[in-house]
Each structure stands twice: as structure tokens, then as C-alpha cells.
Structure 1
Amino acid sequence: MDSATKTSSVRVRASELEGRGWLNTGGVELGLDKLRGKIVILDFWTFCCINCLHVLDELRPLEAQYKDVLVTVGVHSPKFEHEADPVALAAAVERYDITHPVLDDPELVTWQAYSARAWPTLVVVDPEGYIVAHLSGEGHAAGLASLIPELIAEHEAKGTLHRGDGPYVAPEPVARDLRFPGKVLPLESGNFLVSDTGHHRLVETGPDLATVVRTIGSGAKGFRDGSAEEAEFNEPQGLALLPGALAAEVGYDVVIADSVNHRLRGITLATGEVRTLAGNGVQRLLEAGPARVNDDGAPASETELGSEPLEVALSSPWDVAYSHVLETVIIAMAGTHQIFGFAPATGAVTVVAGNGLEGLLDGPAEQAWFAQPSGVTEDAKGNIWIADSETSALRVLKFADGGATVETAIGEGLFDFGFRDGEAAQARLQHPLGVAVLPDGSVAVADTYNGAVRRYDPAAKTVSTLARGLAEPSDVLLDESGEVPLLIVVEANRHQLIRLPLPKNALQVDEGAAQTQRPKTPVAAGELALTINFAAPTGQKLDDRWGDPTQLKVSSTPPELLLGGEGTSVGLARTLVLNPDVPEGVLHFTARAAACDGPEDANGEIPDHAACHLYQQDWGIPVLITADGASELALDLRGVQ
């Protein structure tokens, strides 16, 4: 079943749902026959993926509004080796409050049956079992909101729509002091502040890391400023303590990355009062309007985002750290693959590094690529170390008179990971989330999916292992409060914080390097015709007020795979030229299209007040050069029957 078929007039029957087992069904095995009569959204996701987490939240209102006719089925098709662990998957389903059935598809059987090419992918199946839409990326809620009523009306008229409860069965709740804690911050009192992410609050613990001194936030998922008892968060993550003089000036002490609210919050420690510092609550896409490029074909830059911080859109801020060099709070903006800055004294929000394209590319800060940065910390020289999770990389942002630059200490690319110590060029991590600087200037990394804490020595450019056997460590902190330095590790999946000694002799582990295992697409050398299918939802129109509202960026790993067709330009079709001397590799595509709500005005134009939507998706397509391979490749950004 290829993309051209899915967007033609031919009706295509949905394939059966096959995998290792089911979650959230009370032990019942589901099949399409048991879902007949319902509108079904198949959500192909993997729990490492920030875009997939965005889609989970986009679907929640639709699931609630149409609960008697709509069934979402999460098809978990893992990217990383750790994500294929059924225990880790069950924890992720609990962590993210997923309230629909989930199919465990570790071998990508159902993924391949539906020709999924990227995370996330949505496939809509009508009540008769036919595919009616194939959507890649996030931002499709508005389109689904128009498609679902159309399907309801059509199938009620045909008598093929069955109303009633869906197959979701809620698991038994578990009571805990902490629930999937995210990050930890030492306080001057000797206590620690912990983002109790799964309980949507902050917890201040005593020096023993276990005694609960107080909580900040009601524990209800939401958004509300106010007292410690009244305030509400939505999956808070990173925490940063401001310098004392600055805190006294601005009236708050701690900055919190309130990830799902897409906001920064501030806390006054003396009272527990919570206020909003930045973010308007609307998830930021890289550009608010149509996809535009500069004269050189590069995406338009957005360095200065404004001095009205409550009007700026953010996207899943995951960690924060204070930069004494910039006098700015550095933000790991996971949702847009960038590093932002927030200046407490002025309220200015800026892009510090990253152009928003997903991947691993070093160089000048404004040109660098990141992939879901999730941990940041400052070293004694003022450098910012970054856990770049989706590239399984440790990156560093350095400042000099000539500007800022990004370098990679450990990591190879979006699909390369593993557990290997030794020379940094060959070392491998697996989806790290936290970083800390050690007394000797080396860097500790919470190597989350390897269940380990790793150490990078910048002088020797070597990697070693400080601890292993941990349950998804999400943060690591140097604790110098005692006679000897210790590590504090946030063990998210054991819902606890622990102290570990710094070993005199670190381990040397080599469990090998790996790549994400996905089927390779056979293609022929020479010209390859690439088409990205996009159909604007009912009630929307392509936003051509500033020219072509589409954009396509093409690159490859290795770069030698492409002899022609690389680069960024408008349009969603491109002829590539593949090198016959490179046997295999990965083609990287980023496609965008901007559409706005109608109706059009009397002149057929989009009115100035219309709400606009940016559709975007990144693909990494593994390819194998063969004599009888395809000469055409079609992908769906939004394909509808």
C-alpha cells in the first residue's frame, strides 16, 4: 500500500492490527472486527518522541467530544531499543496518562502494514474499515475536527455508525509520594526541589531526598497562578535557581519549565507563590505564518522573539539553567529543537541556538541543528552542555567574542545510538535527558534509555560509565553538601531520587553501537522523483499571501548519497539524484505547508483575522540502492481520500 494509492479514489481496506500485546484493554485482544462501526484513529507513536507527545494532547479534546463514536488506538512502534521493553512501554503509558488502547508493535509489523514512515503518523479508518486519511506530523487537530463530523454524518445516514462505549479499560491507580519525577534543584537551605512531573506539582524534600517538606501546586493538571495550594502545572520539568541579587530584583527565585503548558513559571520560595513568566500557552511551531525562506534558501531566522514574554509562544520547554555569561535563563526548547533564552530582568525571549531543523549539525549557533534537547547545565567556563536526546548526543554551546558555536562531544545522528565507552568519536549513548558538571570539569550524563550515568572527559575526549542498572534516570546532579562529592540521580521509573558515590575507577562498557531498525526502501541510482502529498482540510486554504506557502528541505547521511536535489526551497516536489557508488544511507526531508481557516473574503482572499496552521514533518527514510529499486517516492504530509 503506497502513498499514491492512499490518496487516490480507490478505497483501501485497513490492515489487521498485529503486535505483541495490548495495554489499556483489561487484557482483551483487539482487532478491527471489534472496532467496526467506530471511527478509528491509529496513532503510530514512540514514547521518546516529543512530537508524538504533542499529538497525544492534540487528540484528547477530540476523544472526549466524540467518545461514543471515536476510538483512538495507539500503535507503539519503537525507535530506540529500550522502547521495545514492555515494562518501559507500560510505564510510558502510565506516565503520559494515555486513556485509549495501545498496541505493542515492537517488530513494526503494523507500522509496515500501514506504510508508516515517521513518528508521529495518524491513519483514520472509517466505520466500515476503510482508510480515509493518512497524516504525518503534528498539528492535525483542526483537520480532524472537520473530518470526524463528516464521517459521522455519512455513516449515520448509511446505518454503519455504532454509538456506545469504547474498548478502553483504565488500569488500577497507584499511590506514591513522587510520580515519574523529572528534574532536581539544590536549595540554599540544604533541601531539594523536585519536579514531581506525574503529579503535576513540585515537591520540596529534606536533605535525605525522601522526606516531603512541602508541595507547591495543587496536584491537578492545569494552568493556574497563585498560592502554593492553588497553583496548577502540567508536567513540570526543569528547574533553575536565579542569583540572589537578580531574584531580589524580579521578585521570584526559581524558574520552572512547565512543559505541557508551554510556559515558564516562577516561584517565590519564601511563600510558594507561583506566577507565569513567559509563554502564551499556545504551542509554538517554528514559524507562525507561512513557511518562508531567505534569499539563500535558508529558513527565516527568529533571533529576537520580543520583550512581551506572555505573548510569545513556546513549545515543550524541558529544562532550564542560568547562564552567567548571558545573564539569561537558558531553555532546552524540546518542541522546536532549539535553545531559547529568557532574560528575567527585561522579559526578553530569544533564540540562542538552533534553526529549528531536527538533526545533528554543528557550527555557528544560529545554523546548528538539535533534536529534542532535554537537559542543560553551565560549566565553570560559561559553556552550556546539552543533552540532545533524539540524536543520543552530548552537545556544547560555547560563547566567544566572535559569537556562539555548537560542537558535538558524543553522538552521530538521529538514528545512531548504543552503549559504548572509550574514545568519544566511537562512544554511544541512548536518549540522554540530563547533564551535570563534575568537580574536575568532566560532564556526567543521565543516559536515560541505557539506565546509566556516563562521564565525558573533555580533555581526553573519552567516555566511561559511572553507574548502571538505573530505571530511566532523567536528571543527574553533583551534590557537594557532604564531606565527599556524590551524585544525585532522579530515577524516574522508580519514582525516587538516590545518591551514588563517584567511583574512583569508572567502568568501561562496550555493548556496541546500533541504529534504529526500520525497513530500508529500495531505490534506483540516478533520478528519484520525490512528492510530498498535502491536502488542506475542509474549511482551510493554502496561505499564499506571501508566495508559495510550502517548503521542502532535503539532505542525506552520508552527504555523498545525494548528487543533486539537496537544499531548501519552496514547493513539495523535487527531483533528487542518487549516487550509484553509495550502497545505502538515509534521506532526510523536512516538509512544511501553511493553511488558514476560511471563508475567503469577497475577493477570494484569506481575511487578515483568519486562524492559520503550519503543518510540518521530518522524515528520515533509510534507503538501499538497487538496480530494480523505485524511481519515485511519495510521502504524506496530509493525504485524504
Structure 2
Amino acid sequence: MLLTRDVTTKTRVRAPELVGRRWLNTGGKDVTLQELRGKIVLLDFWTFCCINCLHVLDELRPLEEKYSDILVIIGVHSPKFEFERSESAVETAVSRYEVQHPVLDDPNLDTWQAYAARAWPTLAVVDPEGYVVANMSGEGHAAGLAVLIEELIAEHEEKGTLHRGDGPYVPPAAPETELYFPGKVLRLPDGGFLVSDSGHHRLLELAPDAETVRRRFGDGERGLVDGDAAVARFSEPQGLTLLPAAVSKRVGYHVVVADTVNHVLRGLNLDDGSVITIAGTGEQYMVGAVDNVAIEPGEPRRADRGAYDGPAATIKLSSPWDVLWSESTRTVVVAMAGNHTVWSFDPLEGTIANLAGTMNEGLLDGSAGEAWFAQTSGLAADASGRIWTADSETSALRYIEFEDADVYLDELGEDPEAGRTISPDAAEIARPRDFGSISVRTAVGEGLFDFGFRDGPAEAARLQHPLGVTVLPDGSIAIADTYNGAIRRYDPARAEVGTLARDLAEPSDAVVVGEGTDNDPFHLLVVESAAHRLTRVAIPAHAQTVDDGAKSTSRPSTDVAAGTLALDIGFVAPTGQKLDDRYGDPTWLQVSSTPPELLGEGSGGAEGLTRKLSISDGFTEGILHITARAAACDGDPVTGEVPEHAACHLYQQDWGIPVRVVEGGATELALDLRGAS
């Protein structure tokens, strides 16, 4: 269903009151919509595990600053995972992500249901008279929101119903700690450590005692600035990896940094402390768009290996969360959390390419061009060259295998294929000409809505939003099981999961330290992110056994009838934009289900935003997985034509809709990608 905004026919719907457990960032006061009359109110339904929600927080910052006297943004925190229902966890997340507006803690999804939200993130706009005037799902709505806000300002200034002035936001006091929500840790060759001090937007170099600060890289302000250690700026940096010495000599930096919120990779020179940008443009890669223009019609928008590659400085990235030097690829592997893929950065060639993943969110094993990931946030390589991944949104431990890689040596001197002269002081560097066959497999995990805290056989074990993985000296895998507050261990030989430690504050990464002797046994240095510290954890000979049960995300189900179900996605192009139909249909709809047999017909991807689905007989419940995209460009307000070099915008949302199959259930399912009331 493609809509155009028509203010003469829109239905005026009174905004439901805001109901929840408590308010944050208000100085302890409750907030009501009645008190906000005269303001434009933007409700942001989010949950802090969701990378798309974090993208929206950053998209809204400029609007929040520009319209501070008339716009009140209210975050409605509606949890997905059990851990996200905790009062302290919500409070921590609001501080971690520098949320600078009031937040309603909605653990029972009361306000979520009142506004008929179905996905994270969802946005709703309430006008100064208290009526809902727009709702939208997903990210990428900032430009359209800016236009809508200007329209509402003009309309309500003329009516005299717009009131300027301060809103209800009261900033909390930040703790004075050396580390502030650290993300990842890297052991340096001299025994020291490099830590991504994410909450302070900088890196810290620590002495071998893991406490004494030797150096700071970055001035502590959010930004994207290259230069020496005193002036460089990052934005919530996360992953760190050390390059081999021979590679460092060639490229001029030693450490690759995943500068997550800047959507870039940075290079850190440990000798002089300088920082440079080595991959990414600083703009977010939006799935389904290339250079902000919809790709050719009929393309399934898959990210087959090599389909998204080129000079690293020209390719847009999306929230790179971790990085790893891989001997299997002789490149830096990148966990691209923002579009659910794994990429490969070649520092010698200065190129980057998609390595595995289709950019669809979920848990699906197979070849590199078929596999689905879900917000991969941690990487580690074992002795065989396999790359282990923490797939956070599916609460899964997975791995990538390489077969039949064709490797060659760059000889000292001239390299005719690369067309360059190699420095004579550089060692030979084995590099892959072809990565060979790449496959993705799951060791632990079930899917997007299954999690828990359960040890035992891998097929029954459960994690909860893990962010880090580490290979232990015995070849087993330590997992930073973040939302369970635990370090877990997966034994590949026995395919079993145990628990090494618990009662940690959101552990996000770990490194092995020690020499493995009686006087200096192996142990883990764990990033205890929510406690703003690094903590030493023993590696016991035998893991303890925990069974707190398996859980599924609890959300209201939609009752549907068996048989035909008409799916209709609403999309309203913002004022000043039109659908970009220069290359054919600019919309795309992907549908699947859990279990797959729930859908008799209608699964798969195709153009358009409507679809006839067939709900199979014999099922009582399941989940519909729906991805919708639409591309719109700035057009002439009179003719509607799109200029040749117009700015274009990609709108996308993924829904996971729990359904119950009941007699008399709905035969239609309507969702809004971007709607207006």
C-alpha cells in the first residue's frame, strides 16, 4: 500500500497516554502528554539490544539539538530480552548510549501495545494538540521527520497552539571513572593492553597490571577526527586487532579499530599515537541502496561475496563492532553488526568486501552467499583458522570455515600483479588469491526470539545476547554471555556448553593472560562493561553447570486464520520526496516464517509492498519474518520529477510477528513502514 500524505483526509487520532514502570532523565518526575501540549512529541520505541534502535538514537541527535525549544523526544524502552526488563539494565543503557531525552521504562509493553508498535524501532509523532500525525518503523527517517516538523511548526504557529521553551529532560550525573562502558580489549606484544573506552570515545593503553594508564588516544569528545593522540576523535569505538609486524611496516599503523558509531575503521600507530581513517566514509551503509540510489530493479539485494566491495575509503560501512586479523584470509575480518554481515578489509590493497551474509537478519547456515547473521558482535580465530562469531541478536555462537584457499607469496622486491615495489625490510607475506569455499555453521543457538541460561548439550544450551568470543588454550571457546552476566565455555569436541563465571556486569569481551605455569596460570581478563572495569577470571578445569531455563521473547501474538493472509505494508513518502521509480519498482518485500512450513505460499523476496500469504493448516503458532524496503528521492514539489543528482533515501524495517492460528482470526495483516494519520 503506497500512500501520499493528504492533510484534508487524515483521521485525527488522540495519542494514548504514556504508561510504564518509571521515568528516567526527568529528575524523578512523571511526564504526561497533557503537560506536553504545545510541543511536538516524538516517541521512539526502542530496546537497547537492537542495533537499528541505536542507529535511530544517532539519527535523532541533530533534530533534538535543532528543535530543542519545540520538540520533545521521549524514548519508550520496550524490551526484547529478559535482561532488558531489569530496572538497572535500562538505567545503564540510557547512560551508555548518551540518551539526552526522557525515557519511559515500559517493561510490560503497555505503551508499546497502546500505540500498536510491532517492531524495534518504531517512531510516532504527536502534534501540539495531542493527536498522532505519523508513525514509522525502522531507520533512515531523519530527513522526512525534519520536513514534517517544519510543517507542524508552520501549522501550529499559525493556529497559536505551539509553545516554545524547555522540555522535561534532566541530565543525570555521569560517574567519574577512568573507564566508562569499555567495549573490547587487546593484548599488546609487550604484555600491556589496549582498551576501547567506548563511553569516553577514546582508547586507553594500560600497563601489564591492566590498571595503570600509559597513554590515551583521543580527546574524549565524540567525533571523527584524524591526527595525533591529543586531537583524534572517535564515536563509541569497539573492536581492536593487531596487524602482523610485516603488514604494519607496509601500511604505517599497527592496530585496526572498529569505530562503531562513525561507521568507519581507523588505524592506530602505536609508535607516535597517530590515528587515521582507513575504511568507510563516515556515512552509514543502508541495505538495499548503493550510493543512496536504489539498485537495479529485480535484484534480490543480496550481499553475495564480492557484490559490495571496492576501495575502502569509498565504501559505506554500518556499525562495525569487532575486527580480527585472520590468518585464513590474511585480511582483517569485520563484524558488520549494522547490516548483519561479515566483511573483509585488506590493509595492503586498501580494499574492503563483503565476506559472508546476505544482509537479512536471522539464523541461517550455508554458504557465504546464503547465510544469515544477526548483529554479529564478537570475533575470534582458532588454531585451524575457523572464525568464531558471537551472533548477539540470535543469542548464538557460530563459526565460519574456509576450504581450499589458494595462497601465494608476495616476494621481496617487485610484485608485478600488484604493480608496486615492496619495501626491502618487509618480510614475505602469505596472502590469499582466493578464499576458497566459505561456509557458516551454528554451534549454539536457535533464532531471533530464543534465549536463556542453560548449560549442557549444544542443541539444548542457551545464551542471552553474547557480545564477545575468545579461544582458550585448550581450543574451547569462551563466550562473553553479556545479558546473562556470565562467561560461558563451548567445548567443540564434546559439543557441550558450561559456565566459567557469573554475576558479572555485562561482560563484552575477554583475552587470555598468563603463561600457563603453576606460578602464572592461564586466566581471563574480562571487560566488565557496565561496571566500567577489567576483571580477572580464573579458568577452572571443569565448568560449572547452570540451568535457568530456555526462554522466548514474549510479545502479544496476532491472531490469524488458516488460509489466505493478505499482507499490506503502508508507506508514505515524506513531503518533498517521491518513490524513486526511475529504474523500476523501488520497493522490496522479503517474507519467511518459523517454522518454514507455516507458510504454504508467499515466502521469498520480490518487488512490491503487498503479498498474498497462505497460512498452512495444522499449525497453532509461529513467527512471520518480514522485511520491507522502499527508496524515495527528493523531487520537484510541482512536477514530482526527480533531478539527476537528487538526494535519495532508503527506508527499511524487519518485523518478527508472532502469530496464533485460530478460527476466526484475521485474514489481513497491515504494517506501516512509514504512515500518516
TM-score, length of structure 1 as denominator length: 0.97
Q: In structure 2, which of residues 489, 497, 502 is the aligned counterpart of residue 463 of structure 1?
A: 497
Q: Which residue of 2 aligns with 1:541?
A: 578
| 1:452 paired to 2:452 | no
Question: In the alignment, is the contact (CA less than 8 A) between 1:385 and 1:397 conserved in 2?
Answer: yes
Question: In the alignment, is the contact (CA less than 8 A) between 2:303 and 2:359 conserved in 1?
Answer: no
Question: In the alignment, is the contact (CA less than 8 A) between 2:303 and 2:357 conserved in 1?
Answer: no
Q: Report the secondary structure of 1:52's partner residue.
A: helix
**Distance in 1 of aligned mates of 2:163 and 2:295:** 45
Query: 1:134-164: CA deviations, max 9, x gaps?
Result: 1100000000010001000101111111110
| 1:274 paired to 2:264 | no
Q: Which residue of 2 aligns with 1:237?
A: 238
**Distance in 1 of aligned mates of 2:293 and 2:496:** 44
Q: Which residue of 2 aligns with 1:389?
A: 392
**Distance in 2 of aligned mates of 1:422 and 1:248:** 46
| Match runs of 1:38-53 below 5 Å | 38-53=39-54
The offset of 1:174, in angstroms, is 1.9
**Distance in 2 of aligned mates of 1:302 and 1:162:** 53
Q: Which residue of 2 aligns with 1:427?
A: 461
| Match runs of 1:357-506 below 5 Å | 357-401=360-404, 403-481=437-515, 483=517, 484-506=521-543
Letter of the 1:572 counterpart: L
Q: How many residues align?
A: 638
The offset of 1:295, in angstroms, is 6.4
Letter of the 2:389 counterpart: I
Q: 1:292 to 1:558 in 2, by over 3 A?
A: farther
Query: 1:293-312: CA deviations, max 9, x gaps?
Result: 78685636462544421111
Letter of the 1:433 counterpart: L
Q: Report the secondary structure of 1:454's partner residue.
A: strand
Letter of the 1:585 counterpart: G
Q: 1:352 to 1:441 in 2, by over 3 A?
A: same
**Distance in 2 of aligned mates of 1:296 and 1:143:** 26
User: In percent, how many aligned pairs have the same letter?
Assistant: 62
Q: Which residue of 2 aligns with 1:90?
A: 91
Q: Which residue of 2 aligns with 1:319?
A: 322
| 1:610 paired to 2:613 | no
Q: Report the secondary structure of 2:645's partner residue.
A: coil
**Distance in 1 of aligned mates of 2:293 and 2:671:** 20
The offset of 1:599, in angstroms, is 2.0
Q: 1:298 to 1:163 in 2, by over 3 A?
A: closer
Q: 1:630 to 1:319 in 2, by over 3 A?
A: same
The offset of 1:341, in angstroms, is 0.8
Q: Point out 4+ residue stretches in structure 1 off by more than 4 angstroms.
A: 289-298
| 1:69 paired to 2:76 | no
Q: Which residue of 2 aligns with 1:621?
A: 657
Query: 1:50-102: CA deviations, max 9, x gaps?
Result: 10000001001001111110000000000000000010111110111111000
Question: In the alignment, is the contact (CA less than 8 A) between 1:292 and 1:300 conserved in 2?
Answer: no
Question: In the alignment, is the contact (CA less than 8 A) between 1:565 and 1:577 conserved in 2?
Answer: yes
Q: Report the secondary structure of 2:166's partner residue.
A: coil
**Distance in 2 of aligned mates of 1:581 and 1:83:** 34
| 1:560 paired to 2:597 | yes
The offset of 1:481, in angstroms, is 4.2
The offset of 1:605, in angstroms, is 3.9
Letter of the 1:63 counterpart: E
Q: 1:125 to 1:593 in 2, by over 3 A?
A: same
The offset of 1:291, in angstroms, is 5.1
Question: In the alignment, is the contact (CA less than 8 A) between 1:601 and 1:607 conserved in 2?
Answer: no
The offset of 1:482, in angstroms, is 6.0
**Distance in 2 of aligned mates of 1:215 and 1:292:** 43
Q: Report the secondary structure of 1:398's partner residue.
A: strand
Letter of the 2:318 counterpart: S
Query: 1:532-569: CA deviations, max 9, x gaps?
Result: 00011111111111110000000000011101111100
Question: In the alignment, is the contact (CA less than 8 A) between 2:486 and 2:501 conserved in 1?
Answer: yes
Question: In the alignment, is the contact (CA less than 8 A) between 1:197 and 1:235 conserved in 2?
Answer: yes
| Match runs of 1:232-311 below 5 Å | 232-286=233-287, 287-288=289-290, 289=292, 292=295, 297=300, 299=302, 301=304, 303-311=306-314
Letter of the 2:326 counterpart: S
Question: In the alignment, is the contact (CA less than 8 A) between 1:292 and 1:551 conserved in 2?
Answer: no
Q: Which residue of 2 aligns with 1:633?
A: 669
**Distance in 2 of aligned mates of 1:392 and 1:212:** 34
Q: In structure 2, which of residues 621, 624, 633 is the aligned counterpart of residue 596 of structure 1?
A: 633
**Distance in 1 of aligned mates of 2:361 and 2:283:** 21
Query: 1:4-47: CA deviations, max 9, x gaps?
Result: 9x997321110010000000000111111111110000000000
Question: In the alignment, is the contact (CA less than 8 A) between 1:134 and 1:640 conserved in 2?
Answer: yes
| 1:352 paired to 2:390 | no
**Distance in 2 of aligned mates of 1:441 and 1:491:** 23
Q: Report the secondary structure of 2:156's partner residue.
A: helix
Q: Which residue of 2 aligns with 1:328?
A: 331
**Distance in 2 of aligned mates of 1:439 and 1:601:** 68
Query: 1:165-192: CA deviations, max 9, x gaps?
Result: 0000011232110000000000011100
**Distance in 2 of aligned mates of 1:103 and 1:298:** 36
Unaligned runs of 5+ in 2: 405-435
**Distance in 1 of aligned mates of 2:395 and 2:111:** 26
TM-score, length of structure 2 as denominator length: 0.92
| 1:135 paired to 2:136 | yes
Question: In the alignment, is the contact (CA less than 8 A) between 1:457 and 1:463 conserved in 2?
Answer: yes
Q: Which residue of 2 aligns with 1:526?
A: 563
Letter of the 1:497 counterpart: L
Q: Report the secondary structure of 1:35's partner residue.
A: coil
Question: In the alignment, is the contact (CA less than 8 A) between 2:303 and 2:354 conserved in 1?
Answer: no
Unaligned runs of 5+ in 1: none
**Distance in 1 of aligned mates of 2:114 and 2:298:** 41
Q: Report the secondary structure of 1:195's partner residue.
A: strand
Q: Report the secondary structure of 2:168's partner residue.
A: coil
Q: Which residue of 1 aligns with 2:408?
A: none
Q: Report the secondary structure of 2:152's partner residue.
A: helix
Q: Report the secondary structure of 1:537's partner residue.
A: coil
Give the root-mean-square deviation of aligned CA atoms: 1.8
Q: 1:628 to 1:304 in 2, by over 3 A?
A: closer
**Distance in 2 of aligned mates of 1:72 and 1:421:** 41
The offset of 1:223, in angstroms, is 1.1
Higher mean alpha-carbon deviation, 480-489 vs 162-171, is at 480-489
| 1:342 paired to 2:345 | yes
Q: 1:407 to 1:72 in 2, by over 3 A?
A: same
Letter of the 1:368 counterpart: A
Q: Report the secondary structure of 1:330's partner residue.
A: strand
**Distance in 2 of aligned mates of 1:375 and 1:300:** 20
Q: Report the secondary structure of 1:122's partner residue.
A: strand
**Distance in 2 of aligned mates of 1:176 and 1:322:** 31
Q: 1:551 to 1:290 in 2, by over 3 A?
A: farther
Question: In the alignment, is the contact (CA less than 8 A) between 2:297 and 2:585 conserved in 1?
Answer: no
Letter of the 2:666 counterpart: A
| 1:571 paired to 2:608 | yes
Question: In the alignment, is the contact (CA less than 8 A) between 1:305 and 1:350 conserved in 2?
Answer: yes
Question: In the alignment, is the contact (CA less than 8 A) between 1:293 and 1:299 conserved in 2?
Answer: no
Letter of the 1:371 counterpart: A
Question: In the alignment, is the contact (CA less than 8 A) between 2:202 and 2:216 conserved in 1?
Answer: yes
Q: 1:600 to 1:36 in 2, by over 3 A?
A: closer
